[in-house]
């Protein structure tokens, strides 16, 4: 398959990934990603329908632990690195913009 | 003592500590002095532990009081900055975590402390372990002690350079696609990636969770084995860690050093890993090491691994996909950097923070991963890459039905110059062609020095791979290979590294 990496697509991916890319970054990434994607697309050459996918190198399923309270972090420990906190909570700016 | 304590292996230091000929304070101070003298040029460390001497003094007190101490008690340890620590900042080489103090220790750090190892500091790395040169560290590159104009490998260039420059006898590393083994290759040191799940990843700042593994970095095979014994084993905090008992890796290394295990050992060499694409000096060093093994009675067997050539492509789909998900946690809300956007929503703040806090390579891989996972592309990219993973595992299974270990050069070239590949991401990615298959399949791999390349005089490593859970086999074979090579060289390879200029004058003489 041929990649179709365009500046608009890269800008859209930046929105999805929550990274405010500058125009200069968008331009640079567009060129680099096109080269990378063209190269890595070769995986589809051998990934035929009869090959099962492997998500995890050593198969494991249903890893349980006893249902008891573990050694958890305290509230102070959880908040110690918060850029802003108040009343035992993380504090952030507005969740919704004006147009919403 | 007249002996330079920084030149000793961890095993040698351990025996002097246990007999009381040397104190941990003396050993720790010697390494802190060495860091002081050479790290301005090498830049292996992002942070040096101001309390290291106190920790060492406590070990000395406990030893004097007759406490039962582990074999490595009192030996200094460098810790890759990907591992969180309560007493030192943990940044994973990123501005977004500058100054971050973890409320808990990584399990491998907890176990190292419990064993009496003395944390010396945190080592430099490519940002979030994305890179093969440490040039992607937000805090400036580490330099290769063999040639300060060259890269020390990556992402764990700091840990490898620290042991190569005699700033620490031991270090902890992490290996997602070669980040322990490739730095070992270019610095003339030893690095081991354990079986996936063999060592807890709890407290390792995640890059790609199905590939990441923590392991030891050192100057000798035995030293890596000793550290591996400390950190191995099941951890309830990491549900992917394997619930099994591991044999003593140090015992395996000691047994292997006799060379007995090499007789009849079947060593697989991959016919599809051609000499072309490999630097001639790297290939020559590899062939010479194989000839030594053969002379000891090992059998060299050509094997086929037809899907390894798809490994890099699969890796650069799976890794960015998993990384784009793991790095979503850096959201400017709970920890790390926050960039203020006056009047902006939390999403505006998040996007501005992530633009300012992440470096170019991290953004590149997050965007690539977001693309690979997006609707309409998922099956073609991520889905296909996971199928390649199955095919590579089958290649390993087929190979290990006829050989005991597989050998490859650890990387295609010796250390390249700083800046040489920084603008060509694809070329940088191809550095990992030999190391990536082990991460995709979960099998263990070790890199040990095989010599100096005859074309540029820089270190070369040989990598051995074994079936999953057969880590002890790699210590046995690695120690056997190392013993043969050191005998042939007349001493450790690092004895031939050029002396580093020190902050206090020329190196050498009585210290």
| pLDDT of res. B510 | 37
* Nearest chain B residue (CA) to A53: B387
* Nearest chain B residue (CA) to A44: B384
Is A44 in Cβ contact with B367 (below 8 Å)? Answer: no
pLDDT bin (cut points 50, 70, 90) of residue B277 is confident
Spatial separation of the C-alpha atoms in residues B377 and A37, rounded to whole Å:
12
| B 456-485: CB under 8 A from A | 468
Spatial separation of the C-alpha atoms in residues B288 and B376, rounded to whole Å:
49
Look-up of token digits 């050993």: B27
Q: How far is B225 from chain A (nearest CA, A)?
A: 22
> Can you tell me the mean pLDDT for B487-507?
88
Residue B300 contacts A where some CB pair is shorter than 8 Å: no
User: Minimal CA–CA distance to B67: which of B26, B116, B117?
Assistant: B116
| CATH label, B5-308+390-496, candidates 3.50.50.60, 3.30.460.20, 3.90.1300.10, 1.10.357.10 | 3.90.1300.10
- What ipTM, to 2 d.p.? 0.94
Here the tokens at position B508 are 């050498």
Tens digit of pLDDT for each residue in B45-77?
999 999 999 999 999 999 999 999 999 999 999
Higher pLDDT, B432 or B265: B265
Backbone angles phi, psi at B299, to 5 degrees: -110, 125
Spatial separation of the C-alpha atoms in residues A49 and A35, rounded to whole Å:
26
| pLDDT of res. B429 | 86
| pLDDT of res. B505 | 62
Q: How far is B393 from chain A (nearest CA, A)?
A: 8
> Contact at 8 Å (CB) between A41 and B385?
no
Is B351 in Cβ contact with A52 (below 8 Å)? Answer: no
Tens digit of pLDDT for each residue in B112-155?
999 999 999 999 999 999 999 999 999 999 999 999 999 999 99
- DSSP track, B25-82: HHHHHHHHHHHHHHHHHH--EEEE-TTHHHHHHHHHHHHHTT----TTTT-EEEEETT
> Contact at 8 Å (CB) between B407 and B302?
no
Is the alpha carbon torsion for B333, B337, B341, B342 positive or negative? positive
Which among B331, B345, B393 has the least Cβ separation from residue A96? B345
| pLDDT of res. B506 | 53
B124-158 residues labelled b (16+ CB within 10 A) or e (exposed): bbbbbbbbbbbbbbbbebbbbbbbbebbbbbbbbb
Spatial separation of the C-alpha atoms in residues B355 and A24, rounded to whole Å:
12
How far from chain centre, in Å, is Cα B59? 27
Tens digit of pLDDT for each residue in B188-242?
999 999 999 999 999 999 999 999 999 999 999 999 999 999 999 999 999 999 9
SS (H, E, C) B160-180: HHHHHCCCCCEEEEECCCCCC
SS3 category, B292: helix
pLDDT bin (cut points 50, 70, 90) of residue A54 is very high
Taking the model in full, what pTM does it have?
A: 0.96
Residue B101 contacts A where some CB pair is shorter than 8 Å: yes
Give the list of residues 6+ apart from residue A11 with CB closer than 8 angstroms, or none: A21, A26
Residue ranges and CATH numbers for the domains of chain A are 1-46 (1.10.20)
| pLDDT of res. A65 | 87
| CB-based burial label for B35 (10 Å; 0-12, 13-18, 19+) | buried
pLDDT bin (cut points 50, 70, 90) of residue B508 is very low
- Range in B135-139, B263-267, B270-274, B371-375 the model is least confident about: B270-274
| pLDDT of res. B232 | 98
| pLDDT of res. A61 | 86
The answer to whether the bond into B466 is cis (omega within 30° of 0) is no
Spatial separation of the C-alpha atoms in residues A99 and B381, rounded to whole Å:
36
Per the prediction, chain B carries an average pLDDT of: 95
Which among B101, B363, B384 has the least Cβ separation from residue A19? B363
> Can you tell me the mean pLDDT for B13-21?
97
Tens digit of pLDDT for each residue in B368-415?
999 999 988 888 899 999 999 999 999 999 999 999 999 999 999 999
Tens digit of pLDDT for each residue in B312-344?
999 999 999 999 999 999 999 999 999 999 999
User: Which residues of B are catalytically annotated?
Assistant: 80, 155, 179
Give the list of residues 6+ apart from residue B385 with CB closer than 8 angstroms, or none: A40, A43, A47, B313, B314, B315, B317, B318, B321, B372
| CB-based burial label for A73 (10 Å; 0-12, 13-18, 19+) | exposed
């Amino acid at each position: 398959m041929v990649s179709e990496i365009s500046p608009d697509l890269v800008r859209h991916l930046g929105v999805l990934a929550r990274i405010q890319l500058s125009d200069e970054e968008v331009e640079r990434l567009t060129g680099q990603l096109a080269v990378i994607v063209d190269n890595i697309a070769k995986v589809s050459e051998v990934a035929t329908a009869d090959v099962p996918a492997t998500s995890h190198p050593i198969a494991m399923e249903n890893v349980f632990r006893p249902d008891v309270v573990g050694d958890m972090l305290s509230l102070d420990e959880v908040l110690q690195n918060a850029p802003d906190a108040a009343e035992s909570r993380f504090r952030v700016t507005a969740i919704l913009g004006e147009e919403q | 003592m007249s002996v330079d304590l920084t030149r000793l292996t961890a095993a040698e230091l351990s025996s002097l500590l246990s007999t009381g000929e040397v104190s941990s304070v003396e050993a720790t101070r010697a390494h802190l002095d060495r860091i002081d003298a050479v790290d301005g040029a090498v830049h292996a460390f992002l942070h040096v532990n101001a309390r290291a001497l106190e920790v060492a003094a406590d070990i000395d007190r406990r030893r004097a009081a007759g406490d039962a101490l582990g074999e490595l008690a009192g030996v200094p340890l460098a810790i890759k900055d990907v591992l969180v620590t309560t007493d030192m900042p943990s940044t994973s080489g990123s501005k977004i975590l500058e100054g971050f103090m973890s409320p808990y220790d990584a399990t491998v750090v907890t176990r190292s402390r419990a064993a009496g190892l003395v944390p010396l500091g945190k080592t430099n790395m490519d940002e979030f372990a994305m890179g093969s040169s440490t040039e992607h560290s937000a805090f400036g590159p580490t330099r290769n002690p063999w040639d300060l104009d060259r890269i020390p490998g990556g992402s764990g260039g700091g840990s490898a350079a620290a042991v190569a420059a005699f700033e620490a006898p031991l270090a902890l590393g992490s290996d997602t696609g070669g980040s322990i083994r490739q730095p070992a290759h270019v610095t003339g040191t030893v690095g081991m990636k354990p079986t996936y799940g063999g060592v807890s990843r709890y407290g390792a700042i995640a890059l790609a969770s199905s590939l990441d593994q923590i392991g030891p970095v050192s100057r000798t095979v035995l030293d890596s084995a000793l550290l591996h014994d400390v950190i191995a084993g099941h951890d309830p905090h990491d549900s992917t860690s394997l619930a099994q008992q591991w044999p003593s890796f140090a015992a395996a290394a000691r047994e292997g050093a006799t060379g007995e295990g090499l007789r009849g050992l079947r060593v697989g060499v991959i016919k599809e890993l051609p000499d072309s694409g490999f630097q001639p000096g790297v290939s020559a060093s590899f062939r010479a090491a194989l000839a030594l093994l053969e002379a000891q009675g090992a059998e060299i067997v050509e094997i086929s691994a037809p899907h390894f050539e798809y490994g890099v492509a699969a890796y650069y789909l799976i890794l960015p996909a998993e990384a784009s998900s793991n790095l979503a946690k850096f959201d400017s809300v709970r920890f790390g950097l926050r960039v203020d956007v006056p009047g902006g929503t939390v999403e505006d703040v998040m996007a501005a923070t992530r633009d300012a806090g992440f470096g170019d390579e991290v953004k590149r891989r997050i965007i690539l991963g977001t693309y690979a996972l997006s609707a309409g592309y998922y099956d073609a990219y991520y889905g296909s890459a996971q199928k390649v993973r199955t095919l590579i595992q089958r290649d390993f299974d087929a190979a290990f039905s006829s050989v005991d270990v597989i050998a490859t050069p650890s990387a295609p070239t010796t250390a390249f110059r700083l800046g040489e590949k920084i603008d060509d991401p694809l070329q940088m990615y191809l550095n990992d062609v030999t190391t990536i298959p082990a991460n995709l399949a979960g099998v263990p791999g070790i890199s040990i020095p095989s010599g100096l390349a005859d074309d540029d005089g820089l270190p070369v490593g040989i990598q051995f791979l074994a079936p999953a859970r057969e880590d002890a086999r790699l210590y046995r074979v690695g120690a056997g290979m190392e013993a043969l090579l050191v005998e042939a060289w007349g001493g450790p390879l690092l004895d031939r590294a050029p002396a580093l200029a020190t902050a206090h004058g020329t190196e050498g003489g009585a210290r």
